[in-house]
Structure 1
């Protein structure tokens, strides 16, 4: 086995630097809130002006819909505080502004706006002001500024405090989004699923089902989730259903967008944090984080974020005589720069890096115990992620232009104990085998788009997109003791995509809206694979495979919405998505597996409603959807454990998705998220006669979560408490090429409490509070899938205590 390079510590000095700089440059939150900003905002509708003001000053504005304020478009110029600018924008309107805290304001309807605007804002009563609603957050995942209630589609938002945690990543946020699931193979190995559709729990040659974006840039192609630690994040946006029109390939079942906090031009910020964790199994864990935001001369700012952590393992590998064998170390950082060249022209750039290394996998085999197993070899995983994103934005009264460039490098190394493959080795051997695969993805993308003003009865957006993905894939199977190579492949793929897209929205009447969109794309997939030193039964000893696949898909979106009142919206939506085909290279000489697999297409019909009670205490989002999926691409395994991709057949899913929130009193908020669906194969590819027409891998027919947030005093200390109870029904693990493997359902409970002590925040969080040892994902080792039962237990009960200091 090749030696693994030592892990560099990239964060310790950076965290110390951030802490020292924060101490030197710190200012109070109140001073920051009253800071004057050099503003030059053109006269635009109130919604656009508020978004522009928030971007310039770092404030957040919630409350009533700005459209209800009947505000006259006004220009705002001069050196003004955020509150002064808000008062100018609302002058003569039917709304006034109230300050909630140092950087949060809310709009309130008032029957005497002129008199109220002149009043100074009174300091808020801590228990009388409701927390900001997710409906007040401006969304960009639909490629134009809008709000959750105004978006006629299945959209979910996760924002602080739910986004703020001691171990926040996508797997911990999935219970907060109806219909979202993340596999539990291990850090840096997982796949994301939306809307009850899944191609396979394996990560192979197929492109991702869900488009994962960091702000405006795609960060996955056919690799697993890089598992970025979500530090200093503004929110998580999830758009469900196929998004071929807006996002092209890799968005077959939806898009997940990680939105970071942007540099503040006139506002200093700093934060340093330390967290300690301990589990009922394994050694202690720890994490350090740091953030600093520095304004620069010339209307510019830089924001730096660093993190470093060690997550202690909980699987005891008795054969290797190691406790906590699956330790994971993760360190990384993000550096963002913004320059506001003119009031309407801005430049931004972000560099993101993360180095994640797991010393072993986290599944168990046989009946040795919930957290015990006996493997001959460790199964490490390294996931090294680097991304550079740059953009230029020009805003004016006629619309917004945006050009963005992205360059990604993602390196993945995974190893497996491949002892069961001995049945297929054609030469004398020791019986101890190791399989490792290295995957390097280089993705470059360029996009230019235009979005028209949002206040017009006819609105539209258009853009062009180009991307090139260059990937190398080098699987290697060796005999550990003889050092003999049993399979060696050097494969390279290059995929070129070019597309043009457009979408137009027309307000037919004040209550009816129609929109339509198209995307025309050209894709070219080239593959070159050299295979050598093969010593497996029915395999050629060497070979070369080359080929080119071209595709010219066109995708659409068609939507009709009806809003009979300010609190209710009904809509119907049709959309589709696609993935191009590819090549199988790890196939035997005598095999029914074809050398290529076709592209697949997913079409969706959806109807839904959004309701908001006039008093803001109740909200309901519901969607009924039907999905038809043709020529499903599915990553599968040959008996040797080597990966192949098959067009497994046609599938469909009909389901109901519900997200609701209720605030019975000011200090308590309850939220329910649920999905009920019927995913299945209804037409199997006749080549694979053994496949059963059952459910889809890892997709439960019933999933639900219930969360509660409440405020309560502990002596004189105010506490913010959360509880999240989630349930997943049983499901099949695979499509059953050889046999069906099923996993059982389980329940999980997470608890947390946070105390705000002014400059300090103290938090306690308990994950898997009941100590549930259920199998969350029954696949671990591809070579042993048919030889022994495999279970991946939930991480044992873990306590996290964190302290954060704001500057």
Structure 2
């Protein structure tokens, strides 16, 4: 890392620049401020510790992408983010596409239990438990001021599930003084696909100057599909581009300042994403083809209303955040292989009936609903004043949440009753399947989770001097989690009803020390604990899974599993050098994780359950470097290395100590450059390019699994464009070299699928202010 920093520093050798600090924050893109450009790297203000701070002074590893970065680099989804920021990755939950990814940071990866990464829109939690039927909520990157990625446990301020870190989507707030009319549009084409488009408008209205303002944003988009459906018998294409996606987003926010020191901000965010199919092909077919019998569409809707109140108490600031989060995700999977083929294999008479049933189409209908109300109230002291005042700063608060999660699963085998009737046999006869299939349904399950949390939290910092501070924080949490589950029909072993509940409590401390060596160089060290709630399992029919239980030396599946915890230790430095033309952020970490929550699959009967198994450890480092050799050239490099392994044998997973944790690349890195230049007196051009590398990982603990080794890969993005007046036009390409390597090969519903990057996409964008 030192050699890399030194190499970049050599670019500046021709000039002698005095070191200096800067307090100003800027979120204005270079392309929007033609003419004389700043020779310094902009300073970004963040709220990672729930107060406004210079990101270069926050004692934790944090990456920030401004809204202008997102637009200028054409970053549109979670996949783009994970390739651009160190030590963050994502894996498909049960397919790939909108709303199906699980996100990991620093090797803290688990597809069971609660999430390991906290997801927030402003101060509203979008975090959900890990479920087979859905992934993390993915708000569209629209009208954002910035994205903050906080690496390492954030349990003190953000609670359970922020074990690996926290991602915050920070929206633009209404402007009380200026009217804004911003528009953006782009159209592009994907190789092997079709035409894509995005159009949005953001309008800000100061209704009463300095007192009341309204901000409205609308976006509509479509991504063409590039996966073709072929006939399973002839191999001919029956439908092209089946994985297309349509999205609609709306955001409304009102800022009201009824009196000095009081700011009231109600807002609502709504998003509707309709996917015609998942972004997966079958690995035994030509590239980007699938011969599924049942299409796999999805509809994912987010609704996030909130009310934020800020009040200046004089010596402290009070913040109240009341919020509601609702997500409905309805999707279909092709269950033909796992349902129809299995049932057909059980039928021996009359001749031919088993083969007929094996070929019947079967669907898995999954209806997911998440509803959460949360309330947080916190009070924070004023920032430390080195010229006088108290050497202690503090923050304290209380938090409450009430979360309901429902998953309904119906799995019809279309035509199975008709097939048995035509054969002249009774499907419910004990000599046959011994079960009725009402409406052709082979399985029904309804799981109702209810989780409540109550917490009190706080942090205090003591300044031994203006340059040296120590911080102590803690969160005390009490929670309850319950599951009511009803099941029926063939695969459930008949009518079933089960109920289970557990109570949890946790105390999660944090310690940090920060030394500002000089105004431009900061060293820090932290130790923090992360925590996840435990949970409940559905009852699994022993009549169907007896052999699997016997192999695991179990009589039945456990009805609950406990919490897991980890300790994370981090040291780092943040430097702004050479007159603020070079910034270098370095961090190294070690994580000790106990009682991992993991999913245990029963291969014979197709069920699974969650339990606590073994230990794990993870260690690694991150580096982020930005340099401005000239006012018109910005260079950036970021990279991360993670070695995350099991620290004990786990026989139930067939895993041994030293095995790599699933879904965690060994490294990722990104190199980017932006160059601005003059074309005419009032027209300015720019060129941008970025290269992203993602290291190899393991998608399974089983060495014979096709997804055991996920290969390393790279991708290149580039754009050129110009600004004229208040308008900007850009020609861009994503996946410029059209990398089509299969990067994941998960087994979903007993079918080996292949995930690739979206093929080469070339487009034109136009943005401006009206």
Partner of 1:776: 743
Native 8 Å contact 1:194 1:253 kept in 2: yes
Structure 2 residue 313 is the aligned partner of structure 1 residue 383: no
State the 1:692 CA deviation: 7.0
Partner of 1:335: 252
Structure 2 residue 595 is the aligned partner of structure 1 residue 595: no
Structure 2 residue 39 is the aligned partner of structure 1 residue 130: yes
Native 8 Å contact 1:691 1:738 kept in 2: no
Structure 2 residue 407 is the aligned partner of structure 1 residue 499: no
The 1:688–1:178 alpha-carbon spacing in structure 2 relative to 1, beyond 3 Å, is: closer
Native 8 Å contact 1:641 1:782 kept in 2: no
Native 8 Å contact 1:381 1:414 kept in 2: yes
TM-score (norm 1): 0.81
Q: For residues 80-103 of structure 1, what are the alpha-carbon distances to aligned partners after superposition, in whole Å with 9 as ceiling and x for unaligned?
A: xxxxxxxxxxxxxxxxx9x999x8
Structure 2 residue 714 is the aligned partner of structure 1 residue 758: no
Native 8 Å contact 1:386 1:409 kept in 2: yes
State the 1:293 CA deviation: 0.3
Which deviates the most, 693-702 or 497-506?
693-702
Structure 2 residue 120 is the aligned partner of structure 1 residue 153: no
Q: Secondary structure at the match of 1:370?
A: coil
Partner of 2:173: 262
Partner of 2:428: none
Q: Secondary structure at the match of 1:172?
A: helix
The 1:541–1:551 alpha-carbon spacing in structure 2 relative to 1, beyond 3 Å, is: same
Native 8 Å contact 1:691 1:736 kept in 2: no
Counterpart of 2:321 (choices 401, 404, 408) is 404
Native 8 Å contact 2:128 2:136 kept in 1: no
State the 1:297 CA deviation: 2.5
Partner of 2:425: none
Q: For residues 597-656 of structure 1, what are the alpha-carbon distances to aligned partners after superposition, in whole Å with 9 as ceiling and x for unaligned?
A: 221112101111111104111111111100111111134544355453232421111101
Q: Secondary structure at the match of 1:506?
A: strand
Q: Secondary structure at the match of 2:317?
A: strand
Q: Secondary structure at the match of 1:171?
A: helix
Q: Secondary structure at the match of 2:274?
A: strand
Give matches, 1:399-798, under 5 Å: 399-421=316-338, 422=340, 424-425=342-343, 429-431=357-359, 432-455=361-384, 456-482=390-416, 483-533=439-489, 535-536=490-491, 540-585=493-538, 587-589=540-542, 590=546, 591=549, 592=554, 593-635=557-599, 637-639=601-603, 640-689=605-654, 693-714=658-679, 717-736=683-702, 739=705, 741-779=708-746, 782-785=748-751, 788=752, 790-798=753-761
The 1:151–1:690 alpha-carbon spacing in structure 2 relative to 1, beyond 3 Å, is: closer
Q: Secondary structure at the match of 1:683?
A: coil
Partner of 2:108: 197
Quick one: distance in 2 between partners of 1:615 and 1:728? 33
Quick one: distance in 1 between partners of 2:749 and 2:259? 59
Quick one: distance in 1 between partners of 2:289 and 2:125? 38
Native 8 Å contact 1:499 1:521 kept in 2: yes
Quick one: distance in 2 between partners of 1:784 and 1:586? 22
Quick one: distance in 1 between partners of 2:754 and 2:652? 30
Aligned length: 682
Q: For residues 123-175 of structure 1, what are the alpha-carbon distances to aligned partners after superposition, in whole Å with 9 as ceiling and x for unaligned?
A: x9824423651xx2221121111111110111111114322155623322333
Structure 2 residue 765 is the aligned partner of structure 1 residue 805: no
State the 1:691 CA deviation: 6.0
The 1:104–1:527 alpha-carbon spacing in structure 2 relative to 1, beyond 3 Å, is: closer
Quick one: distance in 2 between partners of 1:765 and 1:250? 37
**Consecutive unaligned residues in structure 2, runs of 5 or more:** 1-19, 232-236, 348-353, 385-389, 417-438
Quick one: distance in 2 between partners of 1:636 and 1:191? 17
Quick one: distance in 2 between partners of 1:637 and 1:681? 18
Quick one: distance in 1 between partners of 2:382 and 2:103? 34
Which deviates the most, 167-176 or 355-364?
167-176
State the 1:657 CA deviation: 1.1
The 1:641–1:228 alpha-carbon spacing in structure 2 relative to 1, beyond 3 Å, is: farther
Structure 2 residue 51 is the aligned partner of structure 1 residue 144: yes
Q: Which has the higher contact order (CA 8 A, sep 6+)?
A: 2
Give matches, 1:237-256, under 5 Å: 237-256=148-167
The 1:128–1:266 alpha-carbon spacing in structure 2 relative to 1, beyond 3 Å, is: closer
Q: For residues 515-552 of structure 1, what are the alpha-carbon distances to aligned partners after superposition, in whole Å with 9 as ceiling and x for unaligned?
A: 0001000010011101111x23xx53221110111011
Q: For residues 417-450 of structure 1, what are the alpha-carbon distances to aligned partners after superposition, in whole Å with 9 as ceiling and x for unaligned?
A: 1122145435663543211211100011000000
Give matches, 1:159-170, under 5 Å: 159-165=66-72, 166=74, 168-170=76-78
Quick one: distance in 1 between partners of 2:336 and 2:709? 24
**Consecutive unaligned residues in structure 1, runs of 5 or more:** 1-62, 67-96, 106-123
Quick one: distance in 2 between partners of 1:738 and 1:489? 31
Native 8 Å contact 2:380 2:394 kept in 1: yes
Quick one: distance in 1 between partners of 2:539 and 2:687? 52
Q: Secondary structure at the match of 2:46?
A: coil
Partner of 1:302: 214
Quick one: distance in 2 between partners of 1:297 and 1:445? 31
Which deviates the most, 478-487 or 796-805?
478-487
Give matches, 1:207-226, under 5 Å: 207-222=114-129, 224-226=135-137
Q: For residues 480-506 of structure 1, what are the alpha-carbon distances to aligned partners after superposition, in whole Å with 9 as ceiling and x for unaligned?
A: 223521110111111010000010000
Native 8 Å contact 2:29 2:68 kept in 1: no
Q: For residues 93-122 of structure 1, what are the alpha-carbon distances to aligned partners after superposition, in whole Å with 9 as ceiling and x for unaligned?
A: xxxx9x999x899xxxxxxxxxxxxxxxxx
Q: Secondary structure at the match of 2:749?
A: helix
Quick one: distance in 2 between partners of 1:100 and 1:741? 44
State the 1:182 CA deviation: 2.8
Partner of 1:19: none
Which deviates the most, 362-371 or 235-244?
362-371
Quick one: distance in 2 between partners of 1:265 and 1:627? 45
Counterpart of 2:192 (choices 278, 281, 287) is 281
Quick one: distance in 2 between partners of 1:636 and 1:797? 38
Q: Secondary structure at the match of 1:708?
A: strand
Q: Secondary structure at the match of 2:540?
A: coil
- Cα RMSD (Å) of the superposition? 2.4
Quick one: distance in 2 between partners of 1:230 and 1:744? 28
The 1:744–1:689 alpha-carbon spacing in structure 2 relative to 1, beyond 3 Å, is: closer
Partner of 2:230: 318
Quick one: distance in 1 between partners of 2:242 and 2:213? 43
State the 1:715 CA deviation: 6.3
State the 1:751 CA deviation: 1.0
